[in-house]
Amino acid sequence: MIELAGKGVVVAGGAGSIGRSVIGMLRERGARLAVIDKDPDGAHRVDDAEIAYLQADAADDGAVAGAVGGAVARLGKIHALVNCTGVIHSEPLVSLMNPARRRHAVESWDAVIRSNLTATFMLAAHVAEHMATNRIKGVIVNFSSVAAAGNPGQTAYAAAKAGIEAMTAVWARELGPLGIRVVAIAPGFVDTPSTHAALSDALIKEWGQRTPLRRLATADEIAHGVVFAIENSFVTGRTIHIDGGLSV
């Protein structure tokens, strides 16, 4: 078991619903926190003077370098990174009913890959470098999704999440000898504002009915998985599905 009290943890995307739940649970356990988020108003939502709020776009490598440097300045050592940055995006590969935009736009593909896959890669690279050079036996928790198995209508998002699962396995093998663990969390559908913004109410209801537990997850249920991934000292390289049985 890893004792979180006094440990430095960076939560990227911490101003979002799941990120705030993660922050709450980590604070309860005495972790010292820094949040990296691009939302200029996110500090108000985090609303905790003890937490360093570092506004940065995780899709920009220079901004990530600055933010991770800021987190190190505040926390001293980073023992864990929670990588829950990114955006949901739905767009079919081909839309026969939309002659004006029949094919998936390359621009949206690039943006979704950058904000989900590339941002996860850049954050992990900077934090892993900090952990390796300071011989910190830390943990990186990435965020995949049930979409990684191939949600129809989510080409770019699914590809990004599948890529995150692959990176998680690669990094676990590369960094394991240094004592650094890498785990991914794959939520199913979570009852958050971003889910409601990305999907219609009818679709959300349908996914709830398709889930064996017949509902969406709460943000706290996902955050609990993140805490498990950090605290359990022998889990690495795996994606933990927290999806009410949807992927079974």
Partner 1 sequence: MEDQRSGHERLVLLVSQTLRLPLDAIVDTLQMQDADTWDSLTHMELVAAIEDTFVVELSADDIVTMTSVSHIRSVLAARGVEL
234 belongs to the binding site for partner 1 (CB under 8 A):
no
53 counts as catalytic: no
CB of 177 to partner 1, least distance (A): 4
Task: Give whichever of 111 and 132 is closer to partner 1, judged by the CB atom.
Answer: 132
Active-site annotation holder among 53, 109, 121, 157: 157
- Which residue, 113, 244, 151, 155, is CA-closest to 191? 244
Task: Give whichever of 28 and 174 is closer to partner 1, judged by the CB atom.
Answer: 174
Window 154-193: contact mask with partner 1 (x via CB under 8 A): --------------------xxxxxx--------------
Task: Give whichever of 98 and 134 is closer to partner 1, judged by the CB atom.
Answer: 134
CB of 135 to partner 1, least distance (A): 6
Q: What is the footprint of partner 1 within residues 120-139 (CB under 8 A)?
A: 132-135
CB of 124 to partner 1, least distance (A): 16
CB of 86 to partner 1, least distance (A): 28
Q: Hey, which residues are catalytic here?
A: 157
Site for partner 1, rule CB under 8 A: 132-135, 174-179
